[in-house]
Chain A
Amino acid sequence: DAKTTQPNSMESNEEEPVHLPCNHSTISGTDYIHWYRQLPSQGPEYVIHGLTSNVNNRMASLAIAEDRKSSTLILHRATLRDAAVYYCTHNTGNQFYFGTGTSLTVIP
């Protein structure tokens, strides 16, 4: 199985940057790295994805290590609405495997 490991929980102060790490121990050269987040009672929401290069969009930035064994989701200014469970995943064998995610708490 494709495996990712993330810290169970993290905290951030409001309006400060947050760096959420992920290890992709089984990633292969053609696997895309995806990040999703999930609020209570909702389905996961797409955040960002990439292959090798760092990526930016309106929600976040994604930094991918040169060996691609790790990635970091960067929220530039955390808001209370960013409090959620964040999942990193990658596609292997045409499947995406989600771990247990990181629960982000944003402190006002």
Chain B
Amino acid sequence: EAGVVQSPRYKIIEKKQPVAFWCNPISGHNTLYWYLQNLGQGPELLIRYENEEAVDDSQLPKDRFSAERLKGVDSTLKIQPAELGDSAVYLCASSSFNFDQPQHFGDGTRLSIL
């Protein structure tokens, strides 16, 4: 089966500019996660979707970050405006609904803010 696809793989922008990341999960996976990963750290959850519904966005900085998952398939994560501290890898993962099922991760988008 095809894996989780993320684009772009790399993005370099100047601070205060907007940026968007796209994720296509594995077909049939109801649950979609966005994580942020800083260098030398484990992934940190930003938002979790069950189908179209954002069921946990408590860690999402809502003043500048937004996300959507239209039709319960693809998802987009946006930052506007970007700050220097947002430089990180943004990972998308998907899984079946039940928590006894593993998450499958994409290779992430590495964001660099100048």
**Chain A residues packing against B (C-beta within 8 Å):** 32, 34, 36, 41-46, 49, 51, 87, 89, 91, 94-101
A95 to B103, CA, bound (A): 11
Cα-based distance from A89 to B108 in the complex (angstroms): 20
| Complex CA distance for A89 and B100, rounded to whole angstroms | 12
In the complex, which residues of chain B have a beta carbon less than 8 angstroms from the beta carbon of A89? Answer: 42
Q: Which residue of A lies closest to B55 (CB)?
A: A94
Contacts of A98 in B (CB 8 A): 42-44
Chosen A-B contacts, 16 in total, with CB atoms closer than 8 Å, are A32-B100, A42-B107, A43-B91, A43-B107, A44-B91, A46-B103, A49-B102, A51-B100, A87-B42, A89-B42, A91-B99, A95-B48, A96-B45, A98-B43, A98-B44, A100-B40
Report the interface size class on chain B: 20 to 34
Q: Contacts A98-B44, A100-B40, A100-B41 given: A44-B105 contact, CB under 8 Å?
A: yes
In the assembled complex, the Cα of A100 lies from the Cα of B42 at a distance in Å of 5
Main secondary structure of the interface of A (DSSP, over half): loop
Pair A95/B56 contact, Cβ less than 8 Å = yes
Q: Number of contacts between A and B (CB, 8 Å)?
A: 49
Cross-chain contact A43 with B108 (CB below 8 angstroms): yes
How far is it, in angstroms, between the C-alpha of A43 and the C-alpha of B40 when the chains are bound? 13
Residue of A43, A95, A100 touching B4 (CB-CB under 8 A): A43
- Sort A-B residue pairs by CB-CB distance and give the 8 closest, nearest first: A98-B42, A43-B105, A46-B102, A91-B99, A44-B105, A43-B107, A98-B43, A32-B100
